[in-house]
Amino acid sequence: MSLQQRTETEHPDPARDPRAAEADVVLAGIRKTYGDVVAVDSVDLRIDRGEFFTMLGPSGSGKTTTLRIIAGFERPDAGRVELAGVDVTGRPPYARDVNTVFQDYALFPHMTVAENVEYGLRVKGVKRSERRRRADEALALVRLEGFGGRKPVQLSGGQRQRVALARAIVNHPQVLLLDEPLGALDLKLRQEMQSELKRIQQEVGITFVYVTHDQEEALTMSDRIAVFNNGRIEQIGSPEDVYERPETEFVAGFVGISNMLERDGRRFAVRPEKISMLDAGPEGEPGTIAEVVYVGAVTRFAVELDGGGRLTVLRQNLERTSAEALEEQGRRVWLVWRPEHTVAIERTDREVEA
């Protein structure tokens, strides 16, 4: 029986088993303080079975504390944690059907790759032949066939992260928690691992709860995203909803780049790539290009508007060199965008934590 088949047997598809249709994770009124600091403030959350769910936010926003509360590493001061419909608020980590993957891998350096992956099975008393078979299966899933005899020190950072992932999924938990697991990798490897993580999650069907401060990671991999700020959730939605239809000023500014404008008593946001920059026109916002930043595939323009405010505009460098782009500084332009590309924004009273 494959890892995917075993996962489906132990955690049936909700379409085939009504008992599994309930959420894998429910947080109700979760609050956690450290002295006078409120780390998590009245968080309510539902994560359905099989979702790739991401908690996104800056440092200190409460996302990692929330993940640790789900894992059982932290006890909430108030509220309830449910896993697959069972209240586990008072249970220790080992009594919860979850595994956690950390940024620092947490591999045993004296063990081989196979022994690291088998470790959880050995603790559970699984027979050696079954441990080895399931470890080989998990290593194949993360594309590390033939690496079982190596030590962690003989692996690259990306390979060690794959071993940590294999060790976490070999027990086929109900929920897999991932705490910024790609943070130590370089950009190219991080992008490759984003695709790999999504592939693995889809193959095994385990619910992934992923923590990151990287907006691209969240938008690339997630089925849904919860955007955290100062211990609270500002918005929950699909990547498209969060990016295209931000509900607050914080979400508009944190998830990608967003321009904020006030005109005729109306406050709205418009994304830089939605703005056209013309030499002249009867309509639009006239202004002057105050800054030009060439970033390879695109050039970023900062335009000071005659009517007040500054907008960022992105243009693809289809046939433009860096020298040609930089010559645009000081040029008069007119900015236009389609009405459907503006989003009404409510003010966020809480300040953004650095």
> Where do the CATH 3.40.50.300 domains begin and end in the chain?
3-244
Residue 4 pLDDT greater than 90, yes or no: no
Across the beta sheet with 98-102, what order do the strands follow? Answer: 98-102, 175-179, 207-212, 52-56, 224-229, 232-237
201-213 pLDDT, tens digit per residue, is 998 899 999 999 9
- Residue-averaged pLDDT of the chain: 88
Residue 286 pLDDT greater than 50, yes or no: yes
Residue 302, H or E segment: strand 298-305
Report how far residue 57's alpha carbon sits from residue 72's, in angstroms, rounded to the nearest whole number.
21
Strand partners, 212: 56
Give 242's pLDDT tier (boundaries 50, 70, 90). very high
Give me the sign of the Cα torsion angle 119, 120, 121, 124.
Answer: positive
- 311 CB neighbour count, 10 Å cutoff: 20
* Nearest Cα to Cα of residue 63 among 219, 175, 229: 229
Residue 317 pLDDT greater than 70, yes or no: yes
Cα–Cα distance list, 204 to 3, 24, 143, 158, 283 (Å): 7, 15, 14, 20, 53
Residue 300 pLDDT greater than 70, yes or no: yes
Residue 281 pLDDT greater than 80, yes or no: no
How much is the average pLDDT of 244-273?
Answer: 90
How much is the average pLDDT of 103-128?
Answer: 89
Share of the chain above pLDDT 90, in %: 64
* Nearest Cα to Cα of residue 77 among 38, 46, 26, 45: 38
> Where do the CATH 2.40.50.140 domains begin and end in the chain?
272-335
Residue 289 pLDDT greater than 90, yes or no: yes
Q: Are 163 and 187 in contact (CB under 8 A)?
A: no
Class of domain 3-244: alpha beta
pLDDT at position 15: 40
Dmax over Cα atoms in the chain, in whole Å?
78
61-112 pLDDT, tens digit per residue, is 999 999 999 999 999 999 999 999 999 999 999 999 999 998 887 889 999 9
pLDDT at position 19: 39
Residue 264 pLDDT greater than 90, yes or no: no
Cα–Cα distance list, 137 to 134, 194, 278 (Å): 5, 21, 57
CATH 2.40.50.140 fits 272-335, yes or no: yes
What spatial distance separates the first Cα and last Cα of the chain, rounded to whole Å? 48
Share of the chain above pLDDT 70, in %: 92
Residue type, 36: D
133-148 pLDDT, tens digit per residue, is 999 999 999 999 989 9
Give me the sign of the Cα torsion angle 187, 189, 190, 195.
Answer: positive
Residue 229 pLDDT greater than 90, yes or no: yes
Residue with tokens 């494959």: 2
27-72 pLDDT, tens digit per residue, is 999 999 999 999 999 999 999 999 999 999 999 999 999 999 999 9
Which pTM value belongs to this model?
0.85
The packing angle between helices 157-169 and 187-204, to 10°, is 20
